[in-house]
Amino acid sequence: MYHYNDFDRDFLAERNAQFRAQVERRIDGSLSEDEFKPLRLMNGLYLQLHAYMLRVAIPYGTLNSAQMDQLAMIADKWDKGYGHFTTRQNIQYNWPKLRDVPDMLDALGEVGMHAIQTSGNTIRNVTADHFAGAAADEIEDPRPVAELLRQWSTDHPEFQFLPRKFKIAVTGAEQDRAVTKAHDIGLRMVRNDAGEPGFEVIVGGGLGRTPMVGKVLRDFLPKADLLPYCEAIVSVYNLLGRRDNKYKARIKITVHENGIDEIRRLVEDRFALLRPEFSGVDQEMLAGIEAQFAPPAFTQASVAPFKAAYHENPAFRSWVDTNITKHRNDDYAIVSISIKKHGDTPGDATSEQMRVMAAITREFGHDELRISHEQNVILPHVHKSHLPQIYARLRDADLATANIGLISDIIACPGMDYCALATARSIPVAQKIATRFDALKLEHEIGQLKIKISGCINACGHHHVGHIGILGLDRAGVENYQITLGGDGTETAVIGERAGPGFAYDEIVPAIERLIYAYLDLRNDAEETFLQTYRRLGMAPFKSALYPEKEAKNAA
Amino acid sequence: MSKPFSPKVVTANDLLEGDVVYLAADDTWVRDLQDAEIIEDEAIADLRLLDASAQSDVVVGVYLIDVIRDEAGLQTTHFREEFRTKGPSNYNHGKQVELS
């Protein structure tokens, strides 16, 4: 993985010193809140309902054990002993004090981490496939390109005051695990007819109040053209994007209002101007970055201990069947550590759990961890012979829940328990759904199902692309939850369809239960997933299950 | 006819701690809603909001909230403000422990 050089370290130290001075000037009254707010946001510091919140970037979701240990230290020293992993592969601390934040940023800097551009109208943390470099279906590891984009976009002088925030996601695999079609720019690695790797460039996707699936701007972009092409897109948007209306300022609206063909024409014109300005330094830097992302030295050993444990221990077998993904190396496995224990807060890990995961990867995982946009932690490279020991250690730390991809593996934004923008709570809804289906012992019977919950229309919880999406709203001073069905965040992306009127806080879990029982009745067989059944039958039977009174009235 | 004025309290977040505070009658900021000044008159509410805004070296984001008074004391009327008096519902962090 990428290691900071002197330039990175100096840049970060200078930036942190600047912010320390800005905090001092705010406290001594030289800066008003109006002056200070954009400065703190540029450094990832929000003010939420009950406290400040510091959002730390985990670039493309990759970190090593020393970084995870440092995140745990920060949680203990300046927060309440835990951190919240987010849908953009970041970590948020919910309780920092203003005076402590400069020290927290310095502590992050010690391990090559920062909170720069985790807020504001800038290019945000570049996200990537959390199985990058390990997945069996990958053309190339997308992270060197993500790192190049991070370096290019960080403090880019032209792009510090965009019309609105700007999010880039990149994947090197056929299966889209990075939700590229719901990003301002989505990059999917593909091969051209000559077999050379390049990118399909998708633009104008996004969720929020106006959800849109991104459109293809270029079928094939050679790798070497990536930076000038992205620069062309962002600079066209910078001029054309609407600054008169915050709700129409994202590039998805720019694309929608101008049409993809006009955007393509403008981008290609701009690209023609910019391309000669790139002398190839970026490609030299990329080569240097790529060398740092070389695959680990895979261990050669017998997988017999794994096979024996799999045969003997049913709990281990269930965990393996649910939480393990095929690695490109047959003797290896990708482990998804569930941060979704039934009844716990999705994405929250204690400092002790962070240290356990750091220790495991230091010993068994080639010192790498990933944060997934689904708010879980990944061990990307594990030799199968080590799986029984890893499982035992995870179990002791309450981290061995076998529910990846199942009904309790819920994405939930912080909602009104923390967020100042939220209109309803998300976390307790996720907790209750998980606890309920665990009690019913139906989770594995139900199979693959993605529930995603947002506590407001901004859709941080990705509800539009949940197979079942839940959106919490404030209806006349009461929490109300709308259900959408049939959403999909993968390469076959679809925005979910609203099922009907919303449900009160104490009605939402029973409503989900009716929906699930309807699915179990309707599916062709156990192999047909919820999404497949929905696609086959459409909304009607699920609507009847959700609104039985209406059904009864119609029949009468 | 305009709506009758409902009692108000001035609230904000503390600049250094970030936690929820309410304006008391003596212009100090208190952590417990029960210690807040109840404003019964619309004109006074506007004045008190201005007074509070002048304290930008101590607090951030001042605004008025509706309250009602019952046997149990002062209560907020909107669920968002109720959460702000208590803290998050997933952990006993925040006001529910600090005030007990």
- How does pLDDT run across A536-553, given as a tens digit for each residue? 999 999 999 999 987 677
Residues A325 and A350 in one domain: yes
Shortest CA gap B26–chain A (Å): 22
> Domain with A342 in it: what CATH number?
3.90.480.20
Contact A26 B15 (CB under 8 A): yes
A135 phi/psi in degrees, rounded to 5: -65, 145
Residue A279 lies in a domain: yes
The residue type at A108: L
List CB contacts (< 8 A) between B90 and chain A. Answer: 345, 348, 417, 427-428, 431
pLDDT digits (tens, 9 = 90+) for A130-170: 999 999 999 999 999 999 999 999 999 999 999 999 999 99
Q: Which residue of A50, A98, A478 is in closest CB contact with B88? A: A50
Scan residues 71-110 of A and list those with Cβ closer than 8 Å to B.
80, 94-99
Q: Domain range holding A30?
A: 6-61+81-110
Q: Is the domain of A145 the same as that of A263?
A: yes
B3 lies in a domain?
A: no
Nearest CA in chain A to B96: A50
Report the pLDDT averaged over residues A90-97.
98
d(CA A19, CA A114) in angstroms, rounded, equals 12
Residue B1 has pLDDT above 70, yes or no: no
Share of chain A above pLDDT 70, in %: 99
> Quick one: CA torsion of A538, A539, A540, A545, rounded to 10 degrees?
130
Which domain, by its residues, includes B82? 8-89
Residues of B in contact with A477 (CB under 8 A): 77-79
Tokens of A554: 């119609």
Q: Do residue A368 and residue A512 come from a single domain? A: no
| pLDDT of amino acid A542 | 98
Q: Tell me which amino acid residue A542 is.
A: F
pLDDT at residue B97 in the model: 80
Strand A45-47 versus strand A52-57 pairing type? antiparallel
Residues A330 and A354 in one domain: yes
Q: Is residue B84 part of a domain?
A: yes
Contact B17 A51 (CB under 8 A): yes
Alpha helices in A324-462 (DSSP H): 351-364, 387-396, 427-440, 443-446
**What is the total count of domains within chain B?**
1
With respect to residue B96, please indicate whether it lies within any of the assigned structural domains: no
**Considering its fold, how many domains does chain A have in total?**
4
Whether residue A120 lies inside any domain: the answer is no
A534 and A392 both lie in a single domain: no
Q: How many residues does chain A have?
A: 556
CB distance A201 to A187 below 8 Å: yes
Q: Is A509 contained in some domain?
A: yes
pLDDT recorded at residue B100: 65
Q: Residue B5's pLDDT is what?
A: 86
A95, closest residue in chain B (CA to CA): B18
Average pLDDT estimate for A71-91: 97
Distance from CA of B16 to the nearest CA of A (A): 5
DSSP result, A138-180: BSS-SHHHHHHHHHHHTT-GGGSS-SS-B-EEEE-BSS--S-G
The reply to whether residue A27 touches residue B17, judged by beta carbons under 8 angstroms, is no
Per-residue pLDDT reduced to its tens digit, A2-37: 999 999 999 999 999 999 999 999 999 999 999 999
pLDDT tier at B98, thresholds 50, 70, 90:
confident
Query: Are residue A424 and residue A508 in the same domain, yes or no?
Result: yes
B61 and A50: CB-CB below 8 Å? no
User: Contact B36/B85 with Cβ under 8 angstroms?
Assistant: no
Q: Is residue B100 part of a domain?
A: no
CATH number, position A520:
3.30.413.10
| pLDDT tens per residue, range A292-319 | 999 999 999 999 999 999 999 999 999 9
Give chain A positions within 8 Å (CB) of B80.
49, 416, 474
pLDDT tens per residue, range B12-64: 999 999 999 999 999 999 999 999 999 999 999 999 999 999 999 999 999 99
* Residue A65 burial by Cβ neighbours in a 10 Å radius (0-12, 13-18, 19+): buried
* Alpha carbon distance B93, B76 (integer Å): 20
Prediction pTM value? 0.96
Q: Taking 60 as the threshold, does the pLDDT of residue A556 lie above it?
A: no
ipTM above 0.85, yes or no: yes
